[in-house]
Structure 1
Amino acid sequence: MKALTWHGKHDIRCESVPDPEIEDGRDVIIKVTACAICGSDLHLFDGVMPDMHSGDVMGHETMGEVVEVGKDTKTLKVGDRVVVPFTISCGECFFCQRGFFSGCERSNPEPSRSKVTKLWGNSPAGLFGYSHLLGGYSGGQAEHLRVPYADVGPIKVPEGLTDEQVLFLSDIFPTGYMAAEFCNIQPGDTIAIWGCGPVGLMAIKSAFMLGAERVIAVDTVPERLAMANQSGALTLDFRDEDIYDKIMDLTGGRGADACIDAVGTEADASASWDSRLDRIKVATFMGTDRPHVLRQAIHCCRNFGTVSIVGVYGGLLDKIPMGSAINRGLTFKMAQTPVQRYLPNLMERIQTGQIDPSFIITHRGTLEDGPELYKKFRDKKDGCVKVVLKP
């Protein structure tokens, strides 16, 4: 089959790889009908995430049609149309039973589990197409995908919904919704969101769905700011304004009720002096991540507010203002999204017309177009906000 494969920093190729096969009775094979390039994939593209191997199949936002079913799979049958969560979860362990599917104790096998435990202190769930720290599973930017624990993860798509309406249930819609849910939004609240990429845009929509009165969205890419504005947010360009001063002005000096970091490790190095210093530290191997946005979110949050973190970080963060957070009573909430926990609610919101997640799609292509679209997405060229590929 054809698939998009990783061969090093900035080297993604469309090439032929072996077809996946059933390896366990709880597996299914799906024929991929739509997949997407995620902002998290760009961390692999940029060489930020360790333990990628040449030839690894990329992608974790995937849906399609079930074409083969393992003997122990109870909930799916051949012909079912499904969306596949990026988190791989057994459904039976301590964490899955409590709804914390992204903390699954079984889906990240050895030796990946031991390696990531040394790095992070314990292992989260395995993920599709996201390095050999997290299972080494083949991803879904391919013609076919093997889905482990298939009676737990994939959700069936109701009749009448298009691929593009439901594809983002695989990751970015639940992630943006979780980011807003973490904020414990109350009537009249102001939510500030850094990053108007796909997750940030979903967080804006979700914050309003959950009752926010006002959303302030921070970015610098015109197309992203325009989408944020169309979604109801008041937008700030961090290159034109002092974000802290502006948020304080907009909130009467109090700060936002909650702040969402939807950027993560690769914050724009031109944003401020500390972001430029972060970039230098990473380039000289004195640091692993660039947490400028997180610092700013902490300072811009009101006393006893919440900082919600869904942007991806991979290692150690430098100069985080914990004194500010502790002395002002901030709450931090963060997670790799336990997607399965959110799927029934969010599918219902799509069915009832509360949201059509396809609004973020700007570019479409085939797997053969994938390498060039990775570059276009990374460089934010041609108004590229979200890419959908159809094998």
Structure 2
Amino acid sequence: MKALTWHGKHDIRCESVPDPGIEDSRDAIIKVTACAICGSDLHLFNGIIPDMHAGDVMGHETMGEVVEVGSDNHKLKVGDRVVVPFTISCGECFFCKRGFFSGCERSNPNADRARKLWGSSPAGLFGYSHMLGGYSGGQAEYLRVPYADVGPIKVPDGLSDEQVLFLSDIFPTGYMAADFCDIKPGDTIAIWGCGPVGQMAIKSAFLLGAECVIAIDTVAERLGLAKQSGAITLDFRDHDIYDQIMDLTGGRGADACIDAVGTEADPSASWDSRIDRIKVAAFMGTDRPHVLRQAIQCCRNFGIVSIVGVYGGFLDKIPMGSAINRGLTFRMAQTPVQRYLPLLMERIEKGEIDPSFIITHRAGLEDGPELYKTFRDKQDGCIKVVLKP
């Protein structure tokens, strides 16, 4: 089959790889009908996530049609249309039983590698390094889905691939970011990053009752889309973000702040982000947490900082004095997608949101390598790429 494969920093190729097969009786094989390039994939493309191997199949936003089912999988049948969560979860362990599917204790066969960096291992992920299981991803013609009687959700008749594809990751992630904010009527939510997850967080914050959403970025197309969703937009190159948020909130700060950027903050954003970039380049640091620092400073006393941008290692110069003395709450996670799927599918069915609004580019797998570059460089108005094998 054809698939997009990783061969090193900035080297993604479309090439032939072996077809997947059933390896466990709870597995399923799907024929991929749509997949997407995620902002998290760019961290792999840029070479900052460890333990990638040449030839690894990329991708964790995937849906398709079931073509084969393991003997003990009684949930799915051949012909079902399904969306596949990016988190691989057994459904039976301590964390899965409590709804924390992204903390699954069984789905990462390389858990010892993750423990060395993080203390404990999260769930295995599709297409996201051998530290998180070494599973082949879904930017391919076919995908093997482990624990397929737990993860995939069936797509109701009448909904298109593009309406439901982002249930695999960015819609639940953006929704979780807003859900973490414990939004009350009248609240102001500030969101850093108007990429795909940030756009979903904006929509979700309004769905959950926010009165005002402040969206921060510098890419014109992203700010324009955020404005269409009803957000007040700020370009961090044109404004002092702290001063602007204080002005907009009467000097109090935002009720909650969402970091939808993560480890690769724009090094032109401020002096501290430039220092972060130098430290990473000199192997003196692992991440560039400028946005997290700013979100802490811009959050009101006893507010919430919601973190859904990906960080990989150890963060430097975090203003914990500010957070502690002002009573901030931090909430963060890799999204336990399965926890949110029924609710979000229902919102789509009811017409409360159509996640396809975010798509700017559609192509086949063979165009994937170039579109990785287009997405990374924010060229051609690119906000979200959907690939159809």
Shorter-normalised TM range? over 0.9
Letter in 1 for 2:141: E
Report the Cα offset of residue 31 of structure 1: 0.1
The one-letter code sitting in structure 2 at the alignment partner of 1:212 is A
Q: 1:119 aligns with which of 105, 114, 117?
A: 117
User: C-alpha displacement at 1:324, in angstroms?
Assistant: 0.1
- Once the two structures are superposed, residues 124-145 of structure 1 have per-residue CA deviations (whole angstroms, 9 ceiling, x without a partner) of 0000000000000000000000
Which residue of the partner structure matches residue 387 of structure 1?
Answer: 385
Summarize the alignment of residues 1-80 of structure 1 with structure 2, pairs less than 5 Å apart: 1-80=1-80
Distance in structure 2 (CA, Å) of the matches to 1:146 and 1:168 = 19
Alpha-carbon deviation of 1:259?
0.1
SS in 2 for 1:305: strand
Per-residue deviation, 1:171 = 0.1
Cα distance, 1:316 vs. partner?
0.3
Give the counterpart of 2:319 among 321, 332, 340: 321
Q: What SS class does the counterpart of residue 226 from structure 1 fall into?
A: helix
Alignment pair present for 1:264 and 2:259: no
**Aligned equivalents of 2:91, 2:271: Cα separation in 1:** 45
Render the CA deviation track for 1:271-303: whole Å, top value 9, x for unaligned: 000000000000000000000000000000000
Residue correspondences, number: 389
Q: Secondary structure at the match of 1:133?
A: helix
Q: Give the letter aligned to residue 253 of structure 2.
A: G
Flag structure 1 segments of 5+ consecutive residues without an equivalent.
Answer: none
The answer for the alignment partner of 1:206 in structure 2 is 204
Match of 2:316, SS?
coil
Deviation at 1:74, TM superposition (A): 1.1
Asked whether 1:280 is paired with 2:271, we answer: no
Rounded Cα–Cα distance in structure 2 between residues aligned with 1:206 and 1:47:
31
Equivalent in the alignment of 2:183: 185
Give the aligned partner of residue 90 of structure 1: 90
Matching residue of 2:100: 100
TM-score (ref. length: structure 2): 1.00
Q: Does 1:138 align with 2:136?
A: yes
Structure 2 Cα separation of the partners of residues 367 and 31 of structure 1? 14
The separation in 2 between residues aligned to 1:262 and 1:53, in whole angstroms, is 27
Match of 2:371 in 1: 373
Distance 1:118 1:272 in 2: 32
Runs of 4+ in 1 over 6 A off after TM superposition: none
In 2, the alpha carbon distance for the partners of 1:9 and 1:366 equals: 22
Tell me the equivalent position of 2:233: 235
> 2:336 is matched with which residue?
338
Return the offset for 1:337.
0.1
> Identity of counterpart residues, as a percentage?
86
Structure 2 Cα separation of the partners of residues 192 and 125 of structure 1 = 29
Helix, strand or coil: the match of 1:193? strand
The code of the aligned residue for 2:280 comes to V
Q: Quick check: 1:350 aligned with 2:348?
A: yes
Q: SS in structure 2 opposite 1:268? A: coil
Deviation of 1:33 (Å):
0.1
CA distance in 2, matches of 1:89, 1:189: 34
Provide the C-alpha distance between the structure 2 equivalents of 1:24 and 1:75, rounded to a whole number of angstroms. Answer: 15
CA deviation map 1:192-235 (0-9, x unaligned): 00000000000000000000000000000000000000011000
Shift of 1:364: 0.5
Task: Please give the secondary structure, in 2, of the residue aligned with 1:239.
Answer: coil
Aligned residue identity for 1:359: F
Distance apart, 1:376 and its partner CA: 0.2
Number of the residue aligned with 1:252:
250
Cα deviation, 1:308-343, whole Å, max 9, x if unaligned, reads 000000000000000000000000000000000000
Alpha-carbon separation, structure 2, partners of 1:95 and 1:116: 17
User: Which amino acid in 1 is paired with 2:350?
Assistant: T
Q: TM-score, normalised by structure 1?
A: 0.99
